Chains A and B, each alone.
Chain A
Amino acid sequence: MYLKGENISFGYKKDNLILKDVDIALESGEVLGLMGDSGSGKSTLCKILSGYVPNYQGTISIDGKKISSKGYNPVQLIFQHPEKAVNPKWKMKDILNEGYLVPQTILDSFGIKKSWLNRWPNELSGGELQRFALARALSPKTKFLIADEITTMVDAITQAQIWDIVLDIVEKLNIGVLVVSHDKTLINKLCYDVISLADINKV
């Protein structure tokens, strides 16, 4: 299975494009790194690939088919700040099971404890929230994962823990992952292949 973005152009202002004719392809089971300076449009590209930005130019497709804007999106985005990606007025168990009923095996592999499920988001640290964000996104319907700086805000041990689990699960489920990071050593450790946004962006 291939996730393809072809001739993607986008600008927040009409006369100021930040992405121009970007081509990117991600295969099932592949772990691909994406690097770029701050402000170069990495996060914007991630949002476009996962359907958060509707008014771009170009096509996003999985095996040649356009992704429907209705129903479950097989391309799931994980954000840098998990505390901004959860509803502060919901308990963790509701946040976790919003998309699908997360099986115990996934909770166990992420080390999510039972007692956490009854907490409010502000009672958990960033690393713990990020585990929830990942667990709820890894449903059987997810085919591609876009990881936008997902461990930038956590300490080194938590970072190693999180990637350990994610790589294990995506291998089992044959999910393709786009790893976006500033950290060259991290990307080299995780990915088979690395692309630089500056090389594919024709702005």
Chain B
Amino acid sequence: MGEKTEIYSGIRQKTEALLKIKDMSLSFIQYTSGLRQTELKVISGLSMEAHKGEILAVVGSSGSGKSLLAHAILGILPSNAKLEGKMEYCACTLTQEKKEELRGKELALIPQSTTYLDPLMRISDQVIGSVEEENEGLRKKLQRKIFRKYDLKPEVERMFPHELSGGMTRRVLVSTAVISSAKLIIADEPTPGLDDKTLKETLSYFRDMANNGCAVILITHDIEAALKISDKIAIFYAGTILEVANVEDFKNDGEYLRHPYTRALWNALPQNKFQAIKGHQPMQDEVTDGCIFYERCSKKSEFCSKGFPNLKRVNGGLVRCNNVS
């Protein structure tokens, strides 16, 4: 029995983990001047699990590196990226070759925006993707079925991306993931700029996918949207996960939340206290020795300025903080 099983055993575990990430770090090698190189660390010591039938929301502010997490899982990082740590999919190690083999089939990404669609390709061709001729009829039928389900009219098939509204584009992007019969779906910021009705609709698609047995990772900065449909919330800050909380923990003044940052995030919502805390998320090149949240923390002690706290289990969740027990 390793430390890992012990840590995770306290979290609600209805199903087996489809994706396990242990101690992942990601850095970029950059040239500063001439041939001098520096390494810029963007993700460090990140551990998480995605389970079948569950939605895990990864919530963090812009610039925290959460999109890179998605790109790391799919193996679409740029060539100057250095990825370390362990990644397992269905209990097999997920190597770059394995990622390339699985993506588009078992791993699917629902990208951030409309710009990910090919502007010169008709919608149906993009959704169907490249298939062998004998399968084309079958895929076409499947695509029509999915479009009907998502309330996309038959004329949408022949349209080009610029003819779609924001909400329609969102549904098309969701269709591309559904048609691939993926088991692990990563949705990267699928909600900004959607009005209430379209937002609810989009979120319900993800719930549907999870209910059909997929593992869904929802990457977002919008904690309200995440709370509406997710099972667990991972709070991402400056390149790592500070807390994994259950959705039920977010209530009242946030007294059930484990990390001071999560509590501050909860209290900053307009429907709660609309209260801001001071300071900024540290930038990647601002290296800190101690806890990454030290500067802004209201509960910090001398001890926190040295060494980054380990992830530990508290009340059925995970937290990286010295001051919780």
A residues bordering B, Cβ < 8 Å?
Answer: 36-39, 80, 111, 113, 123-128, 149, 152-161, 163-164, 182-186, 188-189
Among B60, B194, B280, the one with the most A-chain Cβ atoms within 10 Å of its Cβ is B280
Contact of A189 with B192 in the complex, beta carbons under 8 Å: no
Contact of B270 with A153 in the complex, beta carbons under 8 Å: no
Name the interface residues of B249-277: CB closer than 8 Å to any CB of A.
264-266, 268-271, 274-277
Given contacts A39-B165, A125-B281, contact A182 B194 (CB under 8 A): yes
Q: Closest chain B residue to A183 by CB distance?
A: B270
Q: Closest chain A residue to B237 by CB distance?
A: A155
- Nearest Cβ on chain B to A180's Cβ, whole angstroms: 11
Q: Closest chain B residue to A157 by CB distance?
A: B268
Q: Closest chain A residue to B192 by CB distance?
A: A152
A88–B278 Cα distance when bound, in Å, is 28
> Can you name 25 A-B residue pairings with CB atoms under 8 Å?
A36-B195, A37-B195, A37-B197, A38-B195, A38-B198, A111-B280, A124-B63, A125-B61, A125-B62, A126-B63, A127-B61, A127-B63, A149-B193, A152-B192, A152-B193, A154-B221, A155-B61, A156-B265, A157-B265, A157-B268, A157-B277, A160-B275, A163-B274, A183-B270, A185-B271
Is B167 interfacial (CB-CB < 8 Å)? yes
Chain A neighbourhood of B197, CB < 8 A: 37
Given contacts A126-B63, A127-B62, A154-B62, contact A189 B274 (CB under 8 A): yes
A149–B268 Cα distance when bound, in Å, is 17
Is B117 interfacial (CB-CB < 8 Å)? no
B residues bordering A, Cβ < 8 Å?
Answer: 59-64, 165-167, 192-199, 221, 223, 264-266, 268-271, 274-281, 283
- Nearest Cβ on chain A to B146's Cβ, whole angstroms: 23
Contact of B221 with A128 in the complex, beta carbons under 8 Å: no
Contact of A126 with B264 in the complex, beta carbons under 8 Å: no
Contact of A161 with B270 in the complex, beta carbons under 8 Å: no
A149–B278 Cα distance when bound, in Å, is 22
Contact of A128 with B195 in the complex, beta carbons under 8 Å: no
Q: Closest chain A residue to B296 by CB distance?
A: A157
Given contacts A39-B165, A160-B268, A185-B271, contact A155 B196 (CB under 8 A): no
Contact of A160 with B221 in the complex, beta carbons under 8 Å: no
Q: Lowest 4 CB-CB distances: which A-B pairs, in order?
A: A125-B63, A155-B61, A160-B276, A126-B62
A156–B263 Cα distance when bound, in Å, is 11
- Nearest Cβ on chain A to B18's Cβ, whole angstroms: 27
Q: Closest chain B residue to A83 by CB distance?
A: B62
Chain A neighbourhood of B265, CB < 8 A: 155-157
- Name the one of B167, B221, B278, B279 contacting A38, with C-beta atoms under 8 angstroms: B167
A123–B194 Cα distance when bound, in Å, is 27
- Nearest Cβ on chain A to B251's Cβ, whole angstroms: 16
- Name the one of B61, B195, B283 contacting A154, with C-beta atoms under 8 angstroms: B61
Given contacts A37-B197, A38-B165, A38-B198, contact A156 B268 (CB under 8 A): yes
Q: Closest chain A residue to B166 by CB distance?
A: A38
A109–B179 Cα distance when bound, in Å, is 50
- 5 more contacts with CB within 8 A, not counting A155-B59, A158-B61, A159-B268, are A37-B197, A39-B167, A155-B265, A157-B268, A189-B270
Contact of A164 with B270 in the complex, beta carbons under 8 Å: no
- Nearest Cβ on chain B to A130's Cβ, whole angstroms: 10
Contact of B194 with A38 in the complex, beta carbons under 8 Å: yes
A164–B199 Cα distance when bound, in Å, is 27
Chain A neighbourhood of B60, CB < 8 A: 155
A163–B269 Cα distance when bound, in Å, is 12
Chain A neighbourhood of B279, CB < 8 A: 111
Chain B neighbourhood of A124, CB < 8 A: 63
Given contacts A128-B280, A156-B223, A157-B268, contact A182 B196 (CB under 8 A): yes
Chain A neighbourhood of B271, CB < 8 A: 185
Chain A neighbourhood of B221, CB < 8 A: 153-155
A153–B113 Cα distance when bound, in Å, is 13
Given contacts A155-B265, A156-B223, A156-B268, contact A182 B195 (CB under 8 A): yes
Among A127, A128, A155, the one with the most B-chain Cβ atoms within 10 Å of its Cβ is A155
A189–B273 Cα distance when bound, in Å, is 10
- Nearest Cβ on chain A to B137's Cβ, whole angstroms: 35
- Nearest Cβ on chain B to A92's Cβ, whole angstroms: 13
A155–B274 Cα distance when bound, in Å, is 12
- Nearest Cβ on chain A to B20's Cβ, whole angstroms: 27
Chain B neighbourhood of A153, CB < 8 A: 62, 192, 221
- Nearest Cβ on chain A to B276's Cβ, whole angstroms: 4
Q: Closest chain B residue to A123 by CB distance?
A: B283
Chain B neighbourhood of A80, CB < 8 A: 193
A69–B265 Cα distance when bound, in Å, is 42
A149–B283 Cα distance when bound, in Å, is 25
- Nearest Cβ on chain A to B180's Cβ, whole angstroms: 27
